[in-house]
Amino acid sequence: MNIQEEAVNIESELIALRRYFHQHPEQSWKEWNTQKKIEEELDTLGIPYETPYKTAVIATIKGAHASDHILGIRADIDALPVTEKTACPFKSENEGTMHACGHDTHTAILLATAKVLAAHRDELPVTVRLIFQPAEEFIEDSGALHLKTVPSVLECERLIGLHIMSALEAGEAALNDGPIMASADTFDVYIDGKGGHGAHPEQCIDPIQAGVEFVQSLNRIVAREMNAIIPVVVSITQFVAGTTSNVIPATAHLSGTTRAADPKVRDRFPDLLQRTASAVALDTETHIRVDYHFGCAVTINDPEVAATGRRAAVQVFGEDHIQKVPFSMGGEDFSKYTNPKAFLILGGGVHDPAKRFPQHSPYFEIDESVLKNGVAYFLQYIEEWAKELAL
């Protein structure tokens, strides 16, 4: 198989698939049409599959001379609750939902890879398991949490994946050893005070004031409780209280996220947040409860799996285009899989800087010309691993 030639030949179908998924995005655990489209494509190719949990699809391609070795390749398929504001002709038709993180490209790349592999079954030296995973964006109840224990996933000797990034130049790629992405957890803070007239705060116990003190106190956690050289983020992303201008409310609700580069630091967050809440509650005479929700662990690339990936990436992108990107504070539920694994970052930044927006932006766009590189990388990984196994 001429991998580069196959990747180029599949490009038009690949881009068409990507545009279909982009135009019909679905949020976490609601990817029913996406699942149907994936199944239709697999049926056309004669590739058997299972649907082990809700909108997940796991397909298996076994070559005529395949060994007992199984490689898993995972793609996330869900979109975000974002209203698209791009001017692209295939923009989202589902109001309030957008593929603003590139999962449409991941799904299309894996399906295009399946098309190439199906046409070359007789040459396939290993069994390839294609994992179309829903709900990557649902931190507390993500798809990987449910798929990681599925027998067909556990059977995978290795697991690989990729993520397109608009911040990395088109044509570039990155594949680091060790930790590459932060843990991603969420928390809710519930504050109970005593409501009353806005003209008489002395008769009330103000939950808004308590919430403000709590937010300000979080800065001390990062500045004084953490090692300054280990990346840490604590962000409040919601603060909800009150319904009108002349009433001090009885309750307030805050929510936020924590990120950490070190699993030991991550484990400290629940206690630190509750300790901060208790101190503020004592000072303001409120009652404060913190509910901490563990989401994604630190994403760590296995050295051996990543080494194979680097060799494959050099063949596809060229040595000069393999970057070592800084550790990302973004989270990724790929971390939940227990298989030895590695995650490639695929550069997809558009050429015009004025149109280059970050992931999750309503203006997010990628350079479609790089999608074939994702297919080539997966195909090349299979070839490189087969060489290592002397197959």
Could you give the number of structural domains in the chain?
Answer: 2
Tell me which residue range forms the domain holding 41. Answer: 3-180+298-388
CATH number at residue 199: 3.30.70.360
User: 127-133 and 70-76: which strand pairing?
Assistant: parallel
Co-location of 170 and 210 in the same domain: no
Co-location of 61 and 103 in the same domain: yes
Residues 6+ apart with CB under 8 A from 2: none
Co-location of 25 and 124 in the same domain: yes
Co-location of 114 and 129 in the same domain: yes
| pLDDT tens digits along 93-107 | 999 999 999 999 999
Co-location of 152 and 287 in the same domain: no
Which among 264, 259, 211 has a CA at the least distance from the CA of 232? Answer: 259
Co-location of 169 and 304 in the same domain: yes
Co-location of 31 and 152 in the same domain: yes
Structure tokens given for 315: 């063949």
Structure tokens given for 373: 């590189």
Co-location of 256 and 235 in the same domain: yes
Neighbours of 206 (CB within 10 A): 23
pLDDT at site 354: 87
Strands of the chain (E only): list them: 49-50, 57-61, 70-76, 127-133, 158-169, 173-174, 178-181, 183-192, 196-197, 232-241, 247-248, 251-260, 287-296, 299-301, 322-323, 341-349
Last residue of a domain, one of 278, 296, 314: 296
Co-location of 288 and 357 in the same domain: no
Co-location of 169 and 254 in the same domain: no
Residue with tokens 């990987």: 144
Q: What is the residue-wise DSSP string for 134-186?
A: --TT-STT-HHHHHTTSHHHHT-SEEEEEEEEEEEETT-EE--SEEEE-EEEE
pLDDT at site 136: 97
pLDDT at site 64: 79
Q: Note every long-range contact of 354-360, with CB atoms under 8 Å and residues 24 or more positions apart, other chains counting.
A: 356/166, 356/167, 357/166, 358/166, 358/167, 359/100, 359/101, 359/102, 359/165, 359/166, 359/330, 360/80, 360/82, 360/100, 360/101
Co-location of 252 and 372 in the same domain: no
CATH number at residue 363: 3.40.630.10
Co-location of 38 and 169 in the same domain: yes
The structure's pTM equals: 0.93
Last residue of a domain, one of 279, 296, 313: 296
Which among 33, 106, 185 has a CA at the least distance from the CA of 346? Answer: 106
Give the residue ranges of the chain where pLDDT is below 50.
none
pLDDT at site 1: 84
